[in-house]
Chain A
Amino acid sequence: MRDQALKPTLDGTVTVSPEYALLLDAIAPLDVARTDHRGWNSDLWGRTLRIADWHRLSPMLFCHLASRGDAPAPVRSALERAYLASSARSLFISDAQRRVVGALLAAEVPALLLKGAALVETVYPDPAQREMLDLDILVAPEQIARASLALAPLGYRPSEAADALGETSMQLEPTSPHAPALVGREQLVAVELHHHLTIPGEGRRFQIDQIWDRARPSSRGPHLLPSPEDLLLHVSLHFTRNRLGGSYRRRHTGGALAQVCDIARIVEHEHLHWARLVASARSYGLDTRVFLALFAARELGVAVPEDALAELQPHGFDRAVGRRLVTLRVLRADDHLPVRTLRWMLAPSREVLSRGWNADPTAPSSLARAYMRRAKAHAPLARSAIRQPGMFIQDRRLNGQIRALEDRM
């Protein structure tokens, strides 16, 4: 599914396709709705439902349309199923969270909630609106092993997939931001114990101790929550990790607009000290990354203050590049984006093969086997690049433009 959704116009504003306009009305409403869905045919609704699903916004769209009451019954029904499933999942995760945090605290391991768990507690009045896949918790680096042990009696252990890849050895890997996901007996909720928020190549000056220093207590339990500014910084960082491309570490996933929705909710519900956010982003060397996330959000209607954006804007930034980012990496819904470098696709480094594909970097035969496993797994990506050469070229061009922007910092 490829959506030619965003077209810059002469006055510098943007227009979006009807499907995306409806989703944007759900996550970042304007005074006047961007689209009128009365009279839409079933094809248009079908595309909208598929796009909403890819962007993990079906529950949010359900609530938006339910308040208006004028969507066709089959559409309402399909979205309601997704919404109710999300509600049940949020119940399941909140129960797991209660037990996991309790076990960590009993082991004297302070726990700071991240991502979805922190967002549903702070900026989503209805937790079902924010689809959650797993439970992300920050613990101090030196307490990762202790935390894993504390969760074992609850049935949490590294998943079989992690075992198969030998990823348990990554627990002591200092450059990995989190230990392998732990999965409970029921195999329904994965717990990711993070000891850092960045991955190699981003924010080398990042001070994780400062995240702990600025954390706030929760009113719902003994855990901590990131400060409003750190919540936005982390969401922005994740947005760019998933959308900027150009590196094997920047893994494209679904849910681009759900990330924009997270930013919108934080801007709407948190009392943000923008100067603090700007100072943190600068001191960590993440100002370009945070800027690009907030620029994309603002382009899509989120009320990010212009002066904060101006503070973060990298020298020589071309708004056309920012809009291309929105077009190519946010307003689209397909699974296999050719957003990586050609070198990444054809000639991965030993580091990539050893870290991601369990190769022994000193053994040529092990590297060769890992290369073949990787090639097989990435065949759909290569096929996508061959099928859409134009898109591949556009994506490569954008990667280069973004890299140039980051190199200027």
Chain B
Amino acid sequence: MSTGPEVVLEERLRRQEGVLAQEAHGRTVLLRLEDGGYYALDEVGAMIWELCDGSRAVAEIVALLCEEFDAPESTVQEDVLEFIGDLRRERLLVVDAA
């Protein structure tokens, strides 16, 4: 996907109001109620989605995934920033102002 709004590692993101999620045979389906748009996340995407609950910064999510998948931080960080940018662009995540 194309790059979304710039994501800062210190930002905390949370799920947009009016977005529903449902497990669907190994995928996670997100539905944006305002227009019926829907998206399917794979296992890693779903994990990032779950971690975006407004309680932790993007940098913490990157660290958690590095530990979970034993992967280089630079690679994970690039992928997470792009993915979260996409979710923001699609109005599925918002920056938590609190």
Contacts and interface: CB of A to CB of B under 8 A. Distances in A.
Interface residues of B, number: 13
Contacts of A127: 22
B24 A87 contact: yes
Given A88-B36, A88-B38, A128 B31 contact: no
Nearest to A186: B36
A148 to B, nearest CB: 23
Contacts of B33: 92, 95
B35 A186 contact: yes
Contact of B24 (A92, A95, A126): A126
Pick from B20, B22, B26, B27 the residue with the most CB of A within 10 Å. Answer: B22
A63 B27 CA distance: 12
A92 B25 CA distance: 18
B25 A91 contact: no
B29 interface: yes
Contacts of B36: 88, 92, 186, 188
Contacts of A186: 35-36
A83 B35 contact: no
Nearest to A127: B22
B31 A84 contact: no
Interface of A: 62-63, 66, 83-85, 87-88, 90-92, 95, 126-128, 186, 188
Question: Which 8 pairs, one residue from A and one from B, show the smallest C-beta to C-beta distance?
Answer: A88-B38, A87-B24, A91-B31, A87-B29, A91-B20, A88-B31, A84-B40, A91-B22
15 contacts: A62-B25, A63-B25, A66-B25, A83-B24, A84-B24, A84-B27, A84-B40, A87-B24, A87-B29, A88-B31, A91-B38, A92-B36, A127-B22, A186-B35, A188-B36
